[in-house]
């Protein structure tokens, strides 16, 4: 009589245990399904592989496979690594503001000339951003991008270094972009008391200084080494600068006989300034060619970093770059390793002209022949000028390193 009851009690006791074993088996199966890629998965957030489980061997890969990769595959890998580094590096240093502040110690600020707006300029900005994200040319390996191009976060000039920008309005655009990109390091500065802002001075936090002399009569002086220091806000001899950026100069072979033609070509403000200079300095030689890299190499110290910068505009399809190139090659043959050359139109073939003719008002971005004959647009979407400044910063940084 007690046996059936015993059997019932036994079943009652064993049933939960058997159910638990069954559930455990399902969970174990689910663990295996997760690692094997099956659709049936457990809701547990973290799982471990069953004891004794082994992944299948992928025998198609060997330890020496990387050694057997072709050069193209290796370069592709480096390209991907460079792209990853780009995504993790500081943002591109485009100049996006209309005015440069000269720091807390100064009451001065400088306008960034040739501002642009409109759809064409917006599209230019999109191309500039995409172009910058690719990275620049690596200084030692041309097959991979330079991920630091346009992203250098420290002051390009060393402590106590001095730099001079000397040229025309295209050189001024490079100066403006350079100061704009590193504005956060400017602690002091001043400008000549006129509306042109063609003579100025700034000091960085590391006591490095930048001076500029734009569209100056000094370029036509027979006594340039003596005349130039006197025109600077902080006078100093030309041969004491650590860095000299030499741009192009506006042609003015004889302002007394070609006044009408040059008034249209160079603007009345420039012509007026040259006429005033002629009255104040009667010994000026307007037929004298403006200074070249060869001229400055004779005056400046052998340690001075000389940087020639061509114009952004093209005159009838030709540029002033060839002249810079001839002098650069001659100095290289002479062993002058501190001379460098920047081609301002180098990046235009890819990103577009983005030209402007309005110095102090907002313009549309000009393309084609109109853009060729212009300065470069600046504004909230960046500028072609910024790309040339990034090239300039690389010259300073590689030398510094």
In this model, does residue 5 exceed pLDDT 60?
A: no
Q: Is residue 42 part of a domain?
A: no
Question: How far lies 324's CA from each of 110, 197, 330, 365, in Å?
Answer: 29, 26, 10, 28
- The CB-side HSE value for 16 (13 A sphere, CA atoms) comes to 3
Per-residue pLDDT at 271 exceeds 60: yes
Q: pTM (2 decimals)?
A: 0.75
User: How many domains does one find in the chain?
Assistant: 1
Provide the pLDDT confidence category of residue 137 given band limits of 50, 70 and 90: confident
Length of the chain: 401
Model confidence pLDDT, tens digit, residues 362-398: 999 999 999 999 999 999 999 999 999 999 999 999 8
Q: Give the CATH number for residue 140.
A: 3.40.50
What are the two backbone dihedrals, phi and then psi, of residue 19, each rounded to the nearest 5 degrees?
-60, -40
Quick check: 83 pLDDT over 80? no
Cα(211)–Cα(225) distance, rounded to whole angstroms? 16
256 in a domain, yes or no? no
Q: How buried is residue 52: exposed, middle or buried, by Cβ count under 10 Å (0-12/13-18/19+)?
A: exposed
Name the residue with higher pLDDT: 77 or 19: 77
Asked, for residue 76, whether it belongs to a domain, the answer is no
> Confidence band (pLDDT; 50, 70, 90) for 17?
very low
Residues 238-249 pLDDT 10s: 999 999 999 999
- pLDDT of 57 reads 41
Residue 278 domain-assigned (yes or no): no
Within a domain: residue 40? Answer: no
Cβ(158)–Cβ(206) under 8 Å?
A: yes
| Domain assignment present for 368 | yes
Work out the average pLDDT over 214-229: 92
Domain for residue 154, yes or no? yes
> Quick check: is 280 in a domain?
no
Q: Is the pLDDT of residue 166 over 50?
A: yes
Mean of pLDDT values over 103-131: 96
Which residue segment(s) compose the domain that 174 sits in?
89-249+290-400
Q: Is the pLDDT of residue 46 over 70?
A: no
């Amino acid at each position: 009589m007690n046996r059936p009851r015993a059997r019932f009690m036994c079943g009652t006791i064993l049933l939960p245990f058997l159910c638990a074993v069954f559930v455990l088996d399902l969970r174990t199966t689910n663990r295996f399904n997760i690692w094997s890629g099956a659709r049936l998965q457990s809701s547990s957030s973290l799982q471990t592989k069953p004891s004794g489980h082994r992944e299948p061997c992928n025998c198609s890969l060997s330890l020496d496979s990387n050694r057997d990769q072709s050069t193209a595959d290796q370069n592709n890998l480096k390209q991907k690594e460079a792209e990853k580094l780009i995504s993790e590096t500081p943002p591109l240093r485009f100049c996006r503001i209309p005015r440069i502040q000269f720091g807390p110690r100064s009451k001065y600020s400088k306008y960034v000339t040739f501002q642009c707006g409109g759809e064409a300029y917006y599209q230019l900005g999109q191309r500039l951003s995409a172009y910058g994200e690719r990275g620049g040319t690596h200084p030692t390996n041309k097959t991979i991008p330079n991920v630091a191009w346009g992203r250098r976060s420290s002051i390009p000039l060393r402590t106590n270094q001095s730099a001079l920008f000397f040229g025309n309005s295209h050189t001024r655009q490079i100066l403006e972009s350079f100061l704009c990109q590193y504005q956060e390091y400017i602690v002091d500065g001043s400008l000549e008391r006129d509306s042109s802002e063609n003579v100025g001075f700034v000091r960085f936090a590391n006591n490095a200084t930048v001076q500029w002399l734009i569209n100056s009569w000094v370029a036509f002086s027979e006594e340039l080494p003596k005349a130039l220091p006197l025109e600077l806000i902080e006078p100093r001899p030309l041969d004491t600068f650590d860095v000299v950026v030499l741009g192009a100069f506006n042609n003015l072979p004889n302002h007394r006989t070609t006044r009408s033609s040059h008034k249209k070509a160079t603007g009345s403000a420039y012509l007026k300034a040259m006429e005033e200079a002629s009255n104040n300095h009667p010994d000026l030689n307007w037929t004298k060619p403006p200074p070249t890299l060869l001229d400055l190499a004779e005056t400046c110290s052998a340690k001075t970093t000389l940087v020639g910068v061509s114009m952004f505009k093209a005159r009838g399809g030709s540029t002033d770059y060839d002249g810079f190139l001839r002098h650069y090659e001659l100095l290289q043959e002479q062993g002058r390793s501190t001379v460098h050359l920047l081609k301002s139109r180098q990046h235009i073939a890819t990103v577009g002209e983005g030209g402007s003719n309005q110095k102090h008002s907002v313009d549309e971005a000009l393309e084609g022949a109109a853009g060729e004959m212009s300065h470069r647009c600046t504004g909230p979407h960046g500028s072609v000028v910024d790309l040339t400044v990034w090239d300039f910063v690389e010259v300073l940084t590689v030398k510094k390193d």
